[in-house]
Amino acid sequence: MPEIVTEILPAESGAPRRTTDDIVIGIVGSGGDGVISSGELLVSAAAAEGLYATILKSFGPQIRGGESSCRVRISREEALSYGDRLDVLVAFNWADFARFKEELALAPGIVVLYDEKDGTPVDQIPVDPALEPVVFQIPFHDLANEATGSSLSKNILLLGVLGELFDLPTEGIAGAVERKFARKSEEVRAANSKALAAGRAYVLRELAEAPVPLSFVHEKGEPKLLMTGNEALAFGALKAGCRLYAGYPITPSSDVMEWLANELPRFGGTMMQTEDEIAAIGMCVGASFGGTKAMTSTAGPGLSLMTEFLGLASIAEIPVVIADIQRVGPSTGIPTKTEQCDFAHVAHAGPGDTPRVVVAPYDVADCFHMGVEAFNIAEEFQTPVIILSDQYLGQRKESVVPFDIHGWPVVDRLTYGGNGAESYRRYRLDDGDVSPMAIPGQAGGEHTISGLEHVESGDPTSSSAVHARMNERRHAKLERLARERGPALVRTFGAENPQIGIVCWGSTSAQAREAARKLNREGHSVGVCVPQLLCPLPVEPIAAFLDGVERAIWIELNHQGQFYHYAKARLELDAAHGHLYARSGGMPFSVQEIVDRVLALAEA
């Protein structure tokens, strides 16, 4: 990995300019300002240029309209997190900024652009003067009106300004705008070109001598893909062979459903929007009983309704995949904000000794991989598999290095081969922990299954001895899974043979990896252990990581340290390897927050 370039170059105007290959831009405005659209165009331009980019969107509580903001990070190196602090802030009006102030931390020397129309004098803007902001009032509204006859194009005009002012890839931006509006009328496209040009011209004309302290440097590379975690997850499911999705709309998981509603039908599949989450998972279990791979996705409140079917799928040994895009809980919590707070539920949900598998993707690309892997595990082990994603991972759009979609192995369940000499037994103990599954339509395989404890044939029993034996069989799968797949489903990042270890899971690994990258550049030795398989816990590979470090800290975004306590019950953790940093969600961790914790641990 190349070092971040941070050197002072003399600008043509004479003022010193700091070059960077990693820039974080925040844009805030009201509904209709096109804030989100601007941000999306910036990441689209960056991805087309081969840069890494990520966008995090934030909305006010209004369903439509109201204030919105987005945070765009563009970098030459992999942009692991959303970027702690803004280098550039664009405010179409300051009233909207006030609502996002808590979420938008500003970097010292921040460049602030705001619309002249807002009217706030430069010395009264709500930005801490101690940061020594470089502030420009720009007549976005009036310039857009002049150039195109409508102020609606001011978000496109903004892109022209940003591109020229910070040396962002201006051709890439023009290309992104052209692509986005390719199907619109000639008139709209011409207006966009004019707005872009007007933005650039304004900078060249009015700000040529201005002291702009930041210049983005980059080289063009191979284009990257752009997707959200939820899209990647849904795509992974499609790739795995999922042909029935049933779900009930819920924030922040609905985009999984909307994406599959578009894609499944042409593959002969079905997306069904059900009456509730119970029906959603019920449809999936019904379809899977019939041999069709099926998935549902939800968030905390929906997951609680799915618990009864989770138990049924476990005892009846039916493959099914449930994605939980976590949001702040308990109960309805904060629907639009992220938290890793459902682990305890998915790890233990359901009465009885209910086996289940839990996997957690750690970035957007991994959402695709875990989408495939969840199905592979469900099919091979004939059991429900839960994918734990979250709002921060599911709804952020991120550049993804193009990958080979054909290269992923897809596993199908073991099915009954035909009419054997003896009658078919769905849960034959001699088969080990899974038996071939006869699918309706297969002659000779007829049988009845249920949520009742059963003998080998599937017929109900009240025998405690049989119950114990069947429990052993259902849990033997989990032991085999941890043994066979565990090592490949624990990832490590950062320094080789690190002294300090971070253990985290899911979306938090983004900031943890970036913190480790930063610390290692400063001479520390930090490694990050990210289990993708959470239940059953891959004890051996995690223990091996911990054995190799002097101290370890467990980091997760929930109040209780849910995963930590689960792992602690299964690993031998001494005090040096058992440090915990857990806090409630809402806002994801910042990189600095993790850096501080690790430094405190290193110096302790």
Partner 1 sequence: MATALAGIPRAEAKLSAKDFKTELKPIWCPGCGDFGVLAALTKALSEVQVAPENVAVLTGIGCAGRLPGYVSGYGFNALHGRVLPLATGLKLTRPDLLVFAAGGDGDGLAIGAGHFPHAARRNPDITYLMFDNQVYGLTKGQFSPTTPLGDVTTTTRFGSIEAPVNPATLAMAYGASFVARAFSGNVNHHAEMILEAFRHPGFAFIQSIPPCVTFRGNEQFKTIRERARWLNTDGNDHDTSDWGSAWEIASQTDIYDMSFGIIWRQERPTYEERLGFLREKAGKRGPAEMDSVLDQFRP
Of 521, 520, 515, 522, the closest CA to residue 530 belongs to: 515
The interface region with partner 1, picked from 157-165, 194-202, 234-242, 593-601 by CB under 8 A, is 234-242
Token readout for 579 is 């440090």
Q: Binder to partner 1 among 31, 451, 548, 586 (CB under 8 A)?
A: 451
Residues 6+ apart with CB under 8 A from 381: 319, 357, 433, 434, 477, 478, 480, 481
Exposed/middle/buried for 326, CB within 10 Å: 0-12, 13-18, 19+? Answer: buried
**With binding defined as CB under 8 A, does residue 103 bind partner 1?**
no
Residue number, 280 or 388, with CB nearest to partner 1 = 280
Residue number, 227 or 598, with CB nearest to partner 1 = 227
From CA 452, how far away is CA 604, in angstroms rounded?
54
Shortest approach of partner 1 to residue 446 CB, angstroms?
A: 5
| Residue numbers 42-81 binding partner 1 by CB under 8 A | 43-45, 47-48
Q: How would DSSP label each residue in 206-257?
A: HSTTS---EEE--------EEEEHHHHHHHHHHHHT--EEEE---TTTHHHH
3-state secondary structure 497-521: CCCEEEECCCCHHHHHHHHHHHHHH
From CA 528, how far away is CA 246, in angstroms rounded?
36
Of 418, 433, 424, the closest CA to residue 536 belongs to: 433
Shortest approach of partner 1 to residue 16 CB, angstroms?
A: 33
Instruction: Count Cβ atoms below 10 Å from residue 353 Cβ, excluding itself.
Output: 14
Residue type, position 438, single letter: A
Of 165, 134, 140, the closest CA to residue 152 belongs to: 140
Q: Binder to partner 1 among 223, 335, 548, 586 (CB under 8 A)?
A: 223
Shortest approach of partner 1 to residue 226 CB, angstroms?
A: 5
From CA 333, how far away is CA 250, in angstroms rounded?
13
Residue number, 292 or 520, with CB nearest to partner 1 = 292
**How do 551-556 and 500-503 pair as beta strands?**
parallel
Shortest approach of partner 1 to residue 561 CB, angstroms?
A: 33
Residue type, position 421, single letter: A
Residue number, 120 or 274, with CB nearest to partner 1 = 274
Q: Binder to partner 1 among 207, 225, 411, 466 (CB under 8 A)?
A: 225
From CA 174, how far away is CA 410, in angstroms rounded?
40
Shortest approach of partner 1 to residue 373 CB, angstroms?
A: 17
| Residue numbers 304-343 binding partner 1 by CB under 8 A | 308-309, 312, 316
Token readout for 208 is 């040529």
**With binding defined as CB under 8 A, does residue 237 bind partner 1?**
no
Shortest approach of partner 1 to residue 283 CB, angstroms?
A: 3
The interface region with partner 1, picked from 86-94, 119-127, 219-227, 339-347 by CB under 8 A, is 219-227
Q: Binder to partner 1 among 143, 162, 214, 226 (CB under 8 A)?
A: 226
Instruction: Count Cβ atoms below 10 Å from residue 428 Cβ, excluding itself.
Output: 15
Shortest approach of partner 1 to residue 290 CB, angstroms?
A: 4
**With binding defined as CB under 8 A, does residue 445 bind partner 1?**
yes
Shortest approach of partner 1 to residue 267 CB, angstroms?
A: 5
3-state secondary structure of 386: strand
Binding mask 357-396 for partner 1 (x = CB under 8 A): ----------------------------------------
Q: CA 157: distance to chain centroid?
A: 30
Name the helix (H) or strand (E) containing 582: strand 579-582
Residue number, 238 or 503, with CB nearest to partner 1 = 238
The interface region with partner 1, picked from 39-47, 92-100, 197-205, 347-355 by CB under 8 A, is 39-47
Token readout for 139 is 């007549």
Token readout for 129 is 């003067």
**With binding defined as CB under 8 A, does residue 25 bind partner 1?**
no
Of 499, 573, 513, the closest CA to residue 539 belongs to: 573
User: Do 409 and 250 touch, CB atoms closer than 8 A?
Assistant: no
Shortest approach of partner 1 to residue 165 CB, angstroms?
A: 22
Torsion of CA 12, 13, 14, 16, to 10 degrees: -80
Backbone CA torsion sign across 294, 299, 300, 305: negative
Shortest approach of partner 1 to residue 493 CB, angstroms?
A: 24
Q: Binder to partner 1 among 176, 306, 325, 393 (CB under 8 A)?
A: 176
How many residues make contact with partner 1 (CB under 8 A)? 67
Residue number, 47 or 90, with CB nearest to partner 1 = 47
Shortest approach of partner 1 to residue 530 CB, angstroms?
A: 24
Residue number, 137 or 457, with CB nearest to partner 1 = 457
Q: Binder to partner 1 among 67, 231, 366, 380 (CB under 8 A)?
A: 231
Q: Binder to partner 1 among 447, 467, 469, 570 (CB under 8 A)?
A: 447
**With binding defined as CB under 8 A, does residue 350 bind partner 1?**
no
| Residue numbers 402-431 binding partner 1 by CB under 8 A | 405-406
Distance set, CA 566 to CA 482, 539, 570, 572 (Å): 15, 11, 7, 12
| Residue numbers 243-282 binding partner 1 by CB under 8 A | 243-244, 246, 262-263, 265-268, 270, 272, 274-276, 278-280, 282
**With binding defined as CB under 8 A, does residue 440 bind partner 1?**
yes
Residues 6+ apart with CB under 8 A from 47: 53, 223, 224, 225, 226, 399
Provide the binding-site residues for partner 1, judged by CB under 8 A. 43-45, 47-48, 176, 179, 223-227, 231, 235, 238-239, 243-244, 246, 262-263, 265-268, 270, 272, 274-276, 278-280, 282-287, 289-292, 294, 308-309, 312, 316, 400, 405-406, 438, 440-452, 459-460
